[in-house]
Chains A and B, each alone.
Chain A
Amino acid sequence: MRRSTLLSCLAFSLGISKLLFATPQVLNIGNGSEPKDLDPHTVTGVPESQIIQNLFEGLVSKDPQTLKPVGGVAESWKVSKDGRTYIFKIRKNAKWSNGDPVTSQDFIFSWKRLLDPQTASEYAYQGYYIRGGRDFNLGKVKDSSQLGLKAPSPETLEVVLENPTPYFLSLLYHHSLYPVHQTTVQKHQMRWTRPENIVSNGPFTLQKWEMNKVISLQKSPHHWDAPQVKLEGVNYYPIEKPETEEKLFQVKKLHVTGTVPTEKIAYWTKDNSGVFRRHPYLGTYFYWMNVTRPPINNKLVRKALALAIDREKLVKFVVKGGQAPAEFFTPPGIGDFHPKALLPKDGSRIAEAKKLLEQAGFPQGKGLPSIEILYNTSDAHKKIAEAIQQMWKENLGVQATLYNQEWKVFLDTQHSHNYMVSRAGWIADYNDPNTFLDMLTTGNGNNHAAWSNTSYDELIAKAAKEKSPQKRNQLFQKAEEILLEELPVLPLYIYTRIYLLSTDVQGWYENVEDVHPLKYVSLK
């Protein structure tokens, strides 16, 4: 045991010394966890998406200052009057990292791959906007030529949508709609994202992937905008401990951290060096409630548990980053949508929770089996879970047990519904409430609660067709009401993005979606 610790210390210090001699225009980023994969169509997590956003490029890119769509692989596009047909003109100089041109066929292949039931993409529903996408994904239609995708020429892509979707362009920045290289994917199958195989079309290419140590990207000479790209390389370090990240940042081995240790937020707030960053972030921290697992298949129990949590206290004393308590699921302000708080705020909620638990047949928590809370390994998640565990115990007499899993295992466990209550965080994929609410429709790949409600599904489907923004938001409000009545999710707080950013980094803009295309970034 001791020797192995010594060896890993040695390996670690070697890693640090490597960092020390890194060349100037190389950005070092603390990226939280080891990514599950780098396949744009199968991943769902933030650590993965951070890397993929710089490895690949969609039809449309985002301006980091305004979050407005700007040209990506497509240099221009036209939208038909009814808002259903998009015609994209692909750049002639858009190239894959092996020099192949990026064509409209690449997008058709990629989007079919996303929707193919065999890919089993949890994000397949991002392709449902394309006409016929849902039926093809659900296997109702086998013929992929029925999809609303056409390639009149290699430079032209015609997309026909199911409904006019005002946010379709910003959706194209999401990794699930990125192109993948057909021959590479077909040749290497599962191993196509390995550094020796991967072909990508973004401003960077994958140079090195050392499990649990580092993922290195290198500037791609073939990218159409290569002269704009100032960074020579990027290193992503999967550091799960914020304390370690912070130490590495202080000795200038990291330019950007993933987060800040909870107990150090107060310290950094007072710091005047300008490295501490805090800004609103469109994301909700919540718990999935697996509605197939007794005892929380009982709606009353779920509601009692939701009411017994003092979110104000949780945010103020445990999370400590100035986050807002979440009395709703969708973060307020997304696409001008402001959900109403529905859970009662005053002291009556505990009494109400007790009453509900009694109605469910578990007075004072008697006879209720222990509630199991799963979280991905992190002290911050553990602390929150411990605080909630104690609130449930004190307010309801409900026992809870905690257990943790490493990120990749954790994602699998959620996906296979093999848990009771699980920690989760959902970040907006585009600036519209739909990115939060359509996730909970029946059979959605990211609906980890296994929850299904027909009137909810109808509301979301109706909202997709609704043209008037006011009416749409009303429909979303109704959907929120169903969510907070049924509680397949137990919202806890609205995220605030908190991290450390070196003052050497330029071209990095704060925004609510936390989007930082590294092609604009450089080092002083």
Chain B
Amino acid sequence: MSEIMAQSQSIVNEEGQSLWADAWFRLKKNHLAVLGLCFLVFEMMLFFGVPLISTVGYEAQNLELTLAAPSFQHWLGTDTLGRDLFQRLLYGGRISLTVGILASLVSAIVGVIYGSVAGFLGGKIDGFLMRVVDVLYALPFIFLVIILMVYFGRNLILLFVALGLTQWLTMARIVRGQVLSLRHKEFIEAAKSLGIRQRKIVLRHLIPNTLGAVIVYLTLTVPSVILEEAFLSYLGLGVQAPMASWGTLIKEGVDVMDQAPWLLFFPALCLSTTLFSLNFLGDGLRDALDPKGAKD
């Protein structure tokens, strides 16, 4: 935590504050957001660091020690097949966070390109592209994901993509809105009059200007994707055994909550604290990057 603060101060101390430095300065003042950020960094280190040094695998079973209560040997207890819950939580966190981040990135890439093209070109093309978004909006996302999963098979990468592909719609609308308000600004007119190609205008001038809104929305997409993955895993469509995500861990925990409540408690605690952190960070970023919208 202290290390991050030190870095940030050096940025603040620079002369002539950029948008980013300015935003960082404001974000820092939001204690909840900073707390959320620190927690997430801590979690990431835990998830990706600990499995490297631990000797027990997340899938190693000790059938003679099933549903054991938390102890020195198994910090958070063991599950119905005698697997260490702590290891499974870390591994599950890795999957859940990776799903969350990758799917959000997929949604961002598709959404930003789609939205900026629609907004910049305008007219009939815009109308057509946005009607497509409207139609897709009307489809229940879960059916879309299930069809994609069934059609392309059970594959973790595809799960990321499928979730991302159902998340880009709102992103596309937000970006389009931003681009619509930007496209008649002077600097775009200037770029046009200089004869710069359309593609370059979109990539160089429009997209960077929408990034604030995009990043804010991204932090809100991550938690919703994590929840959707949990939901899919609950239905048996998410990650496959012996892999675990927080969703599958919670599902398994619910079944044995009478005998081993810790199997439900710890995964649920992890999921909810992470979602809180992401939401706090998202709120903080919104206030920091978009001062005008902070009051609503």
Q: Complex formed: what's the CA distance from A379 to B240 in Å?
A: 13
Given A390-B59, A402-B240, check contact A1 B81 (CB 8 Å): no
Q: Is the beta-carbon distance between A1 and B236 smaller than 8 angstroms?
A: no
Interface residue? A364 (CB, 8 A):
no
Interface size class of B (residues with CB under 8 A): 20 to 34
Chain B positions within 8 Å of A1 at CB level:
140-142, 228, 231
Q: Complex formed: what's the CA distance from A317 to B65 in Å?
A: 9
Chain B positions within 8 Å of A379 at CB level:
252, 255
Q: Which 6 A-B pairs have the closest CB atoms?
A: A317-B63, A402-B241, A390-B61, A263-B256, A386-B241, A243-B255
* Minimum distance in angstroms from B45 CB to a CB of chain A: 29
Q: Complex formed: what's the CA distance from A385 to B240 in Å?
A: 12
Q: Is the beta-carbon distance between B240 and A401 smaller than 8 angstroms?
A: yes
Interface residue? B67 (CB, 8 A):
yes
Q: Is the beta-carbon distance between B81 and A387 smaller than 8 angstroms?
A: yes
Interface residue? B123 (CB, 8 A):
no
Chain A positions within 8 Å of B61 at CB level:
386-387, 390
Q: How many residues of A contact B (CB 8 A)?
A: 27
6 example contacts (A-B, Cβ-Cβ < 8 A) are as follows A264-B258, A267-B259, A379-B252, A383-B81, A386-B241, A387-B61
List 18 additional contacts besides A243-B255, A262-B80, A267-B258; criterion CB under 8 Å. A1-B142, A4-B140, A241-B255, A243-B254, A263-B255, A263-B260, A264-B258, A313-B63, A317-B82, A318-B63, A382-B241, A385-B241, A387-B63, A387-B81, A389-B241, A393-B59, A401-B240, A403-B154
Q: Interface of chain A, helix or strand or loop or mixed?
A: helix
Interface residue? B64 (CB, 8 A):
yes
Q: What is the total of A-B residue contacts with beta carbons within 8 Å?
A: 58
Q: Which of A262, A263, A390 contacts B242 (CB 8 A)?
A: A390
Interface residue? A377 (CB, 8 A):
yes
Q: Nearest residue in B to A314 (C-beta to C-beta)?
A: B63
Q: Complex formed: what's the CA distance from A446 to B254 in Å?
A: 36
Residues of B at the A interface (CB closer than 8 Å) are 59-61, 63-64, 66-67, 80-82, 140-142, 154, 228, 231, 236, 240-242, 252, 254-256, 258-260
Q: Complex formed: what's the CA distance from A329 to B242 in Å?
A: 28
Give A403-437 as 1s and 0s: 1 = Cβ < 8 Å from B's Cβ atoms: 11000000000000000000000000000000000
Chain A positions within 8 Å of B255 at CB level:
241, 243, 261, 263, 379
Q: Is the beta-carbon distance between B259 and A264 smaller than 8 angstroms?
A: yes
Q: Complex formed: what's the CA distance from A317 to B61 in Å?
A: 11
Within 8 A of B (CB), among A234-280: 241, 243, 261-264, 267
Chain B positions within 8 Å of A403 at CB level:
154, 240
Q: Nearest residue in A to B260 (C-beta to C-beta)?
A: A263
Within 8 A of B (CB), among A345-397: 377, 379, 382-383, 385-387, 389-390, 393
Q: Complex formed: what's the CA distance from A120 to B111 in Å?
A: 51
Q: Is the beta-carbon distance between A263 and B142 smaller than 8 angstroms?
A: no
Q: Complex formed: what's the CA distance from A386 to B58 in Å?
A: 13
Residues of A at the B interface (CB closer than 8 Å) are 1, 4, 241, 243, 261-264, 267, 313, 316-318, 377, 379, 382-383, 385-387, 389-390, 393, 401-404
Q: Complex formed: what's the CA distance from A218 to B241 in Å?
A: 42
Chain B positions within 8 Å of A262 at CB level:
80
Q: Is the beta-carbon distance between A389 and B242 smaller than 8 angstroms?
A: yes
Given A1-B141, A317-B66, A386-B81, check contact A263 B259 (CB 8 Å): yes
* Minimum distance in angstroms from B127 CB to a CB of chain A: 29
Chain B positions within 8 Å of A385 at CB level:
241
Q: Which of B60, B80, B154 contacts A383 (CB 8 A)?
A: B80
Q: Nearest residue in A to B235 (C-beta to C-beta)?
A: A377
Given A385-B241, A389-B241, A402-B240, check contact A263 B81 (CB 8 Å): no
Q: Nearest residue in B to A391 (C-beta to C-beta)?
A: B61
Given A1-B142, A263-B67, A267-B259, check contact A386 B242 (CB 8 Å): yes
Chain B positions within 8 Å of A316 at CB level:
63
Q: Complex formed: what's the CA distance from A385 to B140 in Å?
A: 32
Q: Is the beta-carbon distance between B64 and A317 smaller than 8 angstroms?
A: yes
Chain A positions within 8 Å of B66 at CB level:
317
Most buried by A among B60, B64, B255: B255
* Minimum distance in angstroms from A389 CB to a CB of chain B: 6
Q: Complex formed: what's the CA distance from A387 to B81 in Å?
A: 7
Q: Complex formed: what's the CA distance from A499 to B60 in Å?
A: 31
Chain A positions within 8 Å of B231 at CB level:
1
Chain B positions within 8 Å of A243 at CB level:
254-255
Chain A positions within 8 Å of B64 at CB level:
317
* Minimum distance in angstroms from B89 CB to a CB of chain A: 17
Chain A positions within 8 Å of B242 at CB level:
386, 389-390
Q: Nearest residue in A to B231 (C-beta to C-beta)?
A: A1
Q: Complex formed: what's the CA distance from A379 to B80 in Å?
A: 11
